[in-house]
A and B are shown apart, each in its own frame.
Chain A
Amino acid sequence: MAITQLVGAKIHRREDPRLITGGGRYTEDLLRPGTLSMAVVRSPHAHARITRLNATQAQALPGVVAVLTAADFKPILTGTHPVAPAFVAQKHTVPERFPVADSEVVFQGEPVAVVVAENRKLAVDGAAAVEVDYEPLPAVTDLLKALEPDSPKAHTNLLDNIGWDLAFTPEDTVKDAFAQAEIVVKERILQQRLAPTPIETRNVQADYNPFDEQLTVWMATQNPHFARIWIAGALGMPETRVRVISHDVGGGFGSKVCAYPEDYLVPAAAKLLRRPVRWTETRTESLQTTTHGRGQILDVELAAKRDGSFLALKVLQYLDVGAYIGTFGAFQTCACLLAGGAYKWPGGIAARTIGILTNRVPTDPYRGAGRPEATHLIERMVDKLAVELNMDPVEVRRKNFVQASEFPFTNTFGLTYDSGNYEGTLNKALQLVGYSELRQRQQQLRQQGRYLGIGFSTWIEICGFGPSGATAGATGGLGLTESAMVRVHPTGTVQIYVGSHAHGQGHETTFAQIASDTLGIPYESIEIRHGDTAEGPAFGFGTYGSRSLAVGGMAVHKASNRIVSKALKIAAHLLEASPDDLVFDQGRFHVKGNPGSAKTMGEIAFAAYGASLPEGEDHGLEAIAYFDPPNFVWPFGAHVCVVEVDPATGDAQIEQYVAVDDCGNVINPLIVEGQVQGGIAQGIAQALYEEVAYDDENGQLMTGSLVDYLVPTAAEIPTAVLDRTVTPSPSNPLGVKGIGEAGTIAASAAVINAIVDALQPLGITHIDMPATPDRLWKQIQQAQGGAR
């Protein structure tokens, strides 16, 4: 076998040269002459009836080619907007959705017409000239009131606002444990809606070539093959006649996974008008119409003994679905399945999820997708219990962790954690942050009237989606394996097509590291390609859910091993030896004990196309593999956040942030650390800064720009101190786990726990996110009885 050389090395990314010289190939950079521009006319109301639409003025403007409405699109678009079962196979209601509204609009920003013009400026002018009259309808804006029988309905034709109501486990499950509990702590925890805000907004370009009957769609997406199926299906075209090309993508975080109206409208317009069409989302449109993350209220009850050992947990999740169910909108219900966190629950966990329709854009996965919500709730409750019992929150955690000796560990929902060592990361984190000194400092500062807080988040998560048996049901039939095609050319250069689709994760580098080690072919001779459905295997599954390395990287590994197996046979034939007598080392095959007489992979590549092949072997040196993981993977870690809160202003400043994470074996430390820092930043952002806010009365979006939606800058986000432990995963040959979402999964709980810890002397027992200064100040006033 090849000896590991590049796996584990800090290789600088080969993606970077084009990106640091302005040579990135984002969809918006594709400037094809003759392409028309599309602008979308959108509902300004959260809920309304369209009473009149007049496009005459718009159509008369110079350069406007067409104004298209639902009537124009209905003949050529059907079956748009797939809704996957995700974790909720039976939904109560799945509202019908068409990319353009025709009589009723149900969220602010919903398309009502599109204008296609010679250029972007004229398209925007045209859109401004389309006259639409609306009759506003009552909007469903309050998640809990939406459940009341006399609540307005998000869709006037529906009898209620329930998308789903599922008890994963009945409340009975924990009846005994709660009856025997010595202490029960309860809390209602809010998860505000978040806008994923990749710096690149969405964009789509489409060109229908009637001569070939081929539709080409360039778009920013995390999963080009899924986009292809959805677009082809909606247009009634064979999958193979639609090509989706996605080169560089400027971030996604889950928001470029699902099917959007424009993904259908742009190709449909191109087909109708017989001219290429392009559309780029403005940031305003993005905040309004790109799917939001989180959006939940979680009622949690934790039953325990007074010695701090956990008995049972109850979770009730109210999930703000939005006006339509997102393609993977029910994915976030997995917050229930992970609510138990890193701990054991002898009395079980009762969990129920209610998906509630509201007049807002749908929610869908956003970095962590259910796991940040799970971590946040359980880590908050652990700290809450610790305070009630006057115990060190560290000790409560230790007491209840799944122990290192207990893996693989199956939780109360039947999910098996593959490997773990929760005390290991916690101990390292405590050491790095200097925990005992910190507690002393906290006491000293309190005496000076200063409020320092220490917050923990000992997180676990499920990622690497996933085993086909478990995931096919969730997607609606397609198991989330991953594909790779390795092609070794006669000159020894290698092209590898992989079905994952990096948008910042560095696969072109890391997968080449894996391939180089496995194939014994120099890194420089290997190219990783992705993002074009016309290349490579028939299907690919995309990048999200921290899956690409654990599944996609393993597909590369598996296909590369197939190459090596075939190469071995060719080498044996060339060396006139038995395959069993050969050794593969550093890219060379030789007979054991006779390294002097060897064949290199390069020589074998050439020979594979020649005249001397072993009996029964085909020519060529290529292989396709789909990797079906036997299990999900379960990274884990311990984060510690230290904050100081200024009670006079309510301002919380992070003084220190430590993260010790375990993602199994590491392919490239640079990539891993980059993902963790980035993930932590988004978790901090949720805890302190960001919130999608709507007006309670009319449902209008109040945070419609980055002036009000507070994405933090370098001046606000500290550099976290990082470290790691390595507990390999038994779920794949390289022992790797995912790490892309980990930082975000962990961080919000660490920050909020720190703030609550800081303000404990002032009577604060819980704070919701974002913990803005005005909210903190108000809560302090209330806790102090307005004494200040």
Chain B
Amino acid sequence: MIPAAFAYHRASSVEDASRLLAQGGADAKVLAGGHSLIPLMRLRLAQPSALIDINGLERDLSYVRRDNGTLRVGALTRHYQLAESDEVKRSLPLLAEIANEVGDAQVRSMGTMGGVLAHADPAGDYGTLALMLDAVVTTNRRSIPARQFFLGLFTTPLAADELVTEVAFPVAAGPHKYVKFRRRLCDWAIVGAGAQKMDDGSWRVGVTNAAPTPVRAVGVEQALAQGASPAEAARQATQGLDPASDLRGSAEYKRHLATVLTQRAVEGAR
């Protein structure tokens, strides 16, 4: 199908992008990887009046930098770059593994870290990672801790003229695993669970796509901290979940999956 017509601007800088977004009003949208936006536009479920193309800002926004105990990821960094980056594999291998499982090779050529977070699809794996690791999302205006970033279904605090510029994760190279349950390898997670053991021995655990936002499984983390086995701790995984019943499964099934996958993520963490 063919998208409705729109005005097109190529941003020359982040400030320029912000200004163009402000001018465009509520109907102006950022074009980065485009793999969430363009399919919606083709179905005319989204009809932005203007697209602000920021793909030319790779020099400023595409990078992976280790900064002591922090891994800084530029918003325009593509999935394939995260999957292949030696720095990511060294500093936060869980991110490299997750990136390598996003969509398919073609999607990974284009999709970006910033785009996934800004779109706030509850099936977005990076959101879970950001939340469970207490990442910090930086925009052209401010820095927002992950726990304040996912407000609801496709809802973030980003203002109309605000762009994600960077996401900062804590470095964590210890045992980790992300279990992404789906029908086809290239699909979104029906439910996903991630587990990361931090340097201080504590666990971070998160659940994908079992609520309108990613969920940090604090109950599981606490149980593990108190010495529970993965199976026992995983029983806490249903806390805070509110899965939707849909073609992929009932809410009951998804809650069950969350416990199974959480257990497997913790047990399988290497």
Contact = CB atoms under 8 A, between A and B. Distances in A.
Task: Check whether chain A touches chain B (CB < 8 angstroms).
Answer: yes
Interface of A: 120-121, 124-125, 128, 282, 284, 648-651, 689, 693, 702-703, 705, 708, 710, 712-713, 715-716, 772-774, 777-778
B223 interface: no
B185 interface: yes
A774 B184 contact: no
Contact of B186 (A282, A650, A715): A715
A744 B3 CA distance: 37
B184 A710 contact: yes
Nearest to B249: A774
A125 B247 contact: no
B63 interface: no
Interface string B34-45: 000000000110
Interface residues of B, number: 20
Interface class of chain A by DSSP: loop
Interface stretch (B107-115, B146-154, B250-258): B250-258
A777 B184 contact: no
A132 to B, nearest CB: 16
A710 B2 contact: no
A465 to B, nearest CB: 35
12 contacts: A125-B4, A284-B43, A649-B181, A693-B247, A705-B43, A710-B183, A710-B184, A713-B185, A713-B186, A715-B186, A773-B181, A774-B248
B7 interface: no
Contacts of A693: 247
A648 B253 contact: no
Contacts of B2: 120-121, 124-125
Contact of A708 (B1, B185, B247): B247
A412 B86 CA distance: 69
Interface string B202-242: 00000000000000000000000000000000000000000
Given A708-B247, A772-B249, A778-B250, 6 more contacts: A121-B5, A702-B247, A715-B185, A716-B185, A773-B253, A778-B253
Contacts of B250: 774, 778
B1 A703 contact: no
Contacts of A689: 183-184
A284 B249 contact: no
A708 B184 CA distance: 11
Contacts of B5: 121, 125
A282 B44 CA distance: 13
A769 to B, nearest CB: 14
Nearest to B183: A710
B247 A777 contact: no
A120 to B, nearest CB: 6
B149 to A, nearest CB: 25
A710 B43 CA distance: 19
Nearest to B247: A708
Nearest to A770: B183
Contact of B253 (A282, A710, A712, A774): A774
A649 B257 contact: yes
Interface in B162-187: 181, 183-187
Contact of B249 (A128, A712, A713, A773): A773
Contacts of B184: 689, 710, 712-713, 715-716
Contact of A777 (B1, B186, B253): B253
B260 interface: yes
B260 A648 contact: yes
Contacts of B248: 774
Contacts of A121: 2, 5
A691 B211 CA distance: 25
A705 B250 CA distance: 20
A584 B267 CA distance: 75
B76 to A, nearest CB: 25
A506 B5 CA distance: 42
A773 B249 CA distance: 8
Contacts of A716: 183-185
A615 B183 CA distance: 72
Contact of A282 (B1, B4, B185): B1
A702 B245 CA distance: 13
A281 to B, nearest CB: 11
A128 B247 contact: no
A514 B253 CA distance: 56
A751 to B, nearest CB: 15
Nearest to A122: B2
B190 to A, nearest CB: 8
A540 B30 CA distance: 54
Interface string B112-126: 000000000000000
A350 B97 CA distance: 57
A445 B43 CA distance: 48
A124 B1 contact: yes
Contact of B44 (A128, A651, A773, A774): A128
